[in-house]
Structure 1
Amino acid sequence: MRRRPNHRALTALVLVAAVWASNNPAWGQGMALPPSSVSRPAAPSTEPQNPSPSSGFTPRADTPPSLQNAPPPRSQPSAPGAATGGATGRVTSGGQLPRGAGQEHRVYDLRPYTGYLTKHDRPHQAVVDWIVRETGTDVWHTEPFGFMTADRDELSVYHTNEMHQVIAGIVDRFVAGDKDPQVMNLKVMTVGNPNWRSRAHPLMQHVHVQTPGIQAWLLTKENAALVMSLLRARTDVRQVQAVDLIMHNGQTEKLASLRGRNYVLNVKPSPAGWPPYEPETGEIQEGYQLELSPLLSVDGRTLDCVINANIDQVDKFVDVDLELPLPNQQIHRTKVEVPQLVSWRLHERFRWPSDMVLLLSCGVVASPDRSQSAMPLLNFSAITGTTAGRADALMFVEFRGKASQNLTQAPLVPQVSSRVSAPNRGRY
């Protein structure tokens, strides 16, 4: 008959061995490393340490707060190709950045520009945005290796010499250009019939545009005044917006005119029991949103401008009849509405002499600025050749120089008319 082991005796022996090992460090640590080992005793440090007990990570004094508690390091694979449980990356030799294409690290001082924009939260973001518009995004994510980062004081770039030349040209337009606020005049109009071109065509210089359906012209300020006079003499013209935008060079200004339209989105059972069903309503924001971002050249003779416009119009609501059952075996008849939307988008970059006026025509597009006849039977759309809710949307963009030189009695603030408008298109 075999005797069972005495667990209490084994436990006592383990405790005695542990106490003896704690009093004899050499036995507890095992065999010491030979003198030829790469292990070296750490030199005593006088700096305060705050090691992480789980990872052994000691943050430096300049370590960001978000990295103070570093995650424990992943265990390295024991053999090539062994799974690690996740991507850990690898440290390049010596921690040096790649320089195969002759990359250079340069720092550009932005304080001559950002120092004037004390009321802007992130004025340096405009510099980064315009650099990306000029260079594209691919050069920062493909070969050769490069990076760009910025704060309010400086722009740090690591790239080739050719790329630095492009970036220096953009930065100069900010730091060496005019720091005073500038005035951009914007007029948005709708014309019921596009035949206004027949009289205005000799006064305009056609400009190539990449966006399909968009036309652009350059006009001298004298010819722009003549075209405006011709348009205002028509009965099918509505001026949707006329505004002087006070902007700093390179920054973005936003305008919006939206209104909500409710419709029956769904029909659901009523929790009260009567009426048996109740409508569930939805809302669609109808109107336009416009962004303008101009950038002057150093000498002020050329203007680059990015125009971003979005317009959404509810053309009509299509009714769908529903037959819903009732407890008394009868039918409850109701309907839901399906919105028929007409949307239009513009994102285009234009460049023209600052002493001329840019005129954009979006073609006959959706126009939230649609008038409703008091007498529906008197519909003159068939006679005038227009379609309800459609118009030729025009935009006049004019640079008027420094705000201090545009002294007017009326304040230079957006003057939005009571009617809402349509938009424009373009290239980034």
Structure 2
Amino acid sequence: MIRNTFLIAVALAVLTASRAVLGDEGPSTQWRSLGPRSSAEASEGSDTPRTARNTPSIDFPSGASSPRRVSADEPAGVRLAGANLPADGGQVWREYDISTYAMRVSSTERPEQAIVDWILRETGYEAWHGETVSILSASPRKLRVYHTPEIQAVVAEIVDRFVGNQSDSQAFGLRIVSVNNPNWRAKAQGILQPVKVQSQGVQAWVLRKEDAAFLLADLRRRSDYREHSSPYLMVYNGQSSLVNLMRPTQYIRDIIVPAGSLGGYQPEAGQIDEGLSLEFSPLLSLDTQLIDATIKCTATQVDKMIPVVIEVPASPTTRQRTKVDVPQMTHFRFHERFRWPTDHVLLISLGMVAAPTDTGTGPLAAGLPMALGGHSGRADLLVMVESKPQQERAASGEQPPLREAKTYRGRY
């Protein structure tokens, strides 16, 4: 009897302790029905704004019903998308093997960049930064593209033009020459076939290779002929070359008087990169019958220096005069894309522009740098581009390119 009473007392004590831990409502609240709550209960049991509760759920590609911020540091409005990419425009994912091209190129650490640049030129920059979700990623081995089938077709053609067997044996000769007088056109008019050019003041022609050889020989006999690039400068298919004929020129641009100083001053030096810079990027067509090339040229010349006399404190009681220079300059910029047959030579006249002052070749040997501000010469600047297949280079006894192509990271 006493034992049973003791067991009942222990059981009541355990039950009382359990209710104290679970709260006043007791363990029955753990078995509450999950049916719909009343509007009053919903208002009291949630601190979420009403507008957020009424917003319909958003379906993500991964199947997640609603976005959640991972941490407080994550920007508001950023949602974590799943692995599936939107395909509203019928986009497809493709990978292209470009390792064969990358292994051939040793003149740059990122040979795949040339393929990306040509894709952007052919498709347009806007095609990759518009409403259509797209991806363009390149490594030395693979090119990964996510875009519509139409864009994928363009990309596939560009890749084939880089990795094809014909691209390995193709190179291009580039010459930059100038003459002081553009009257060479009168004699060569019959062999020049005009090419449409968008830039004002610039002309372009194509001519047969044998006619180009006669024209070059005739130009070399002129006393004002100058050549500004190596005659053996070769550029391989798909690569870019930058001919840099710039030279720095120094001048005094300003006078600095230290704050609180009673005397003394310091001249501030300035520098101008004067000369010519030309970038050339060629690409052969799949059937090897056409050449696509972009040519970008920049010329800068100081016509003269305009002096300005400034009074500066030489000591606490005296002042003196010194001179600063203000440059009067001429700038020329040109950027075009050309297409012409491989059995012809492209000839471009940039017009009477600032003549380069690098050390050139020619009868005058007139390429010696002149004093700053001591010239404002103009010359007809000519660019000649010629296709050089491997068999043609071997037949003429030409050596491999003496200068590796330099890659310039420009777009379009």
Normalising by structure 2, we get a TM-score of: 0.72
On the 8 A contact 1:186/1:397 being kept in 2, the answer is yes
CA distance 1:215–1:36, change in 2 (3 Å): farther
Could you tell me the percent identity over the aligned residues? Answer: 40
Is 1:209 matched up with 2:197?
yes
Deviations 1:356-395 (A, max 9, x none): 100000111111338599xxxxx9xxxxxxx942111111
Q: 1:168 to 1:36 in 2, by over 3 A?
A: farther
The reply to whether residue 249 of structure 1 matches residue 247 of structure 2 is no
For residues 57-94 of structure 1, the C-alpha deviation after alignment (integer angstroms, 9 at most, x for no partner) is: xxxxxxxxxxxxxxx9344xxxxxxxx984442245x6
Assess, with a 3 A threshold, how the Cα gap between structure 1 residues 35 and 180 changes in structure 2: closer, same or farther.
farther
Structure 1 residue corresponding to 2:206, chosen from 193, 218, 225:
218
Q: Is the 8 A contact 1:177 1:298 kept in 2?
A: no
Structural mapping, 1:130-279, within 5 Å: 130-180=118-168, 182-269=170-257, 276-279=264-267
Matched with 2:273 is 285
**Secondary structure at 1:152's aligned position in 2?**
coil
Contact residue 261 and residue 286 of structure 1 kept, 8 A? yes
How far off is 1:304 after superposition?
Answer: 0.9
Indicate whether 1:111 and 2:104 are aligned: no
Q: Aligned with 1:243: secondary structure?
A: coil
Q: Among 301, 307, 312, which residue is 1:313 paired with?
A: 301
The reply to whether residue 300 of structure 1 matches residue 297 of structure 2 is no
- Computing the radius of gyration over CA atoms, which structure comes out larger, 1 or 2? 2
Which residue does the alignment assign to 1:408?
Answer: 397
Structure 1 residues 255 and 237 mapped into 2: Cα distance closer, same or farther (>3 Å)? same
Task: State TM-score, norm by structure 1.
Answer: 0.69
Distance 1:232 1:35, change over 3 A: farther
Which of these residues, 334, 338, 342, is aligned with residue 322 of structure 2?
334
Instruction: Tell me if structure 2 keeps the 8 A contact 1:368–1:389.
Output: no
Residues 276, 294 of structure 1: CA spacing in aligned structure 2 closer, same or farther, 3 A cutoff? same
Distance change (3 Å), C-alpha of 1:177 and 1:88: farther
Query: Alpha-carbon deviations, 1:120-164, whole Å to 9, x = none?
Result: 422221111111110011011112222111212221111111111
Distance 1:218 1:303 in 2: 12
The alpha carbon displacement at 1:188 in A equals: 1.2
The residue number in structure 2 matching 1:89 is: 78
Equivalent position of 2:51 in the other structure: none
Consecutive unaligned residues of structure 2, counting only runs of 5 or more, are: 1-17, 35-68, 359-365, 369-373, 405-410
User: What's the offset of the Cα at 1:216?
Assistant: 0.3
Q: Work out the number of aligned pairs and report it.
A: 339
Question: 1:74·1:88 contact (CA, 8 Å) conserved in 2?
Answer: no
Report how far residue 414 of structure 1 moved. Answer: 5.2
Q: 1:389 is matched with which residue?
A: 377
Distance 1:308 1:398 in 2: 17
1:89 maps to amino acid: V
Alignment CA distance shift 1:303-1:265 (3 Å): same
- Equivalent residue number for residue 70 of structure 2: 73
- Distance in 2, matches of 1:230 and 1:89, equals 67
Would the alpha carbon gap of residues 329 and 302 (structure 1) be closer, same or farther in structure 2, given more than 3 Å must change? same
Tell me, yes or no, if the aligned pair for 2:357 and 2:367 is still in contact at 8 Å.
Answer: no
Return the offset for 1:28.
Answer: 11
- Structure 1 Cα separation of the partners of residues 22 and 271 of structure 2: 74
Distance in 1 of aligned mates of 2:98 and 2:201: 39
Match of 1:358 among 333, 343, 346: 346
What SS is found at the alignment partner of 2:153? helix
- Partner of 1:73, secondary structure, is coil
Cα distance in structure 2, aligned partners of 1:215 and 1:183? 24
The alpha-carbon distance between structure 1 residues 223 and 139, as it changes in their structure 2 partners (threshold 3 A), is same
TM-superposed CA distance for 1:346, in Å, is 2.0
Please give the secondary structure, in 2, of the residue aligned with 1:241. coil
More helix, by proportion? 2
Could you tell me how far 1:284 is from its partner in structure 2?
1.5
The AA in structure 2 aligned to 1:101 is G
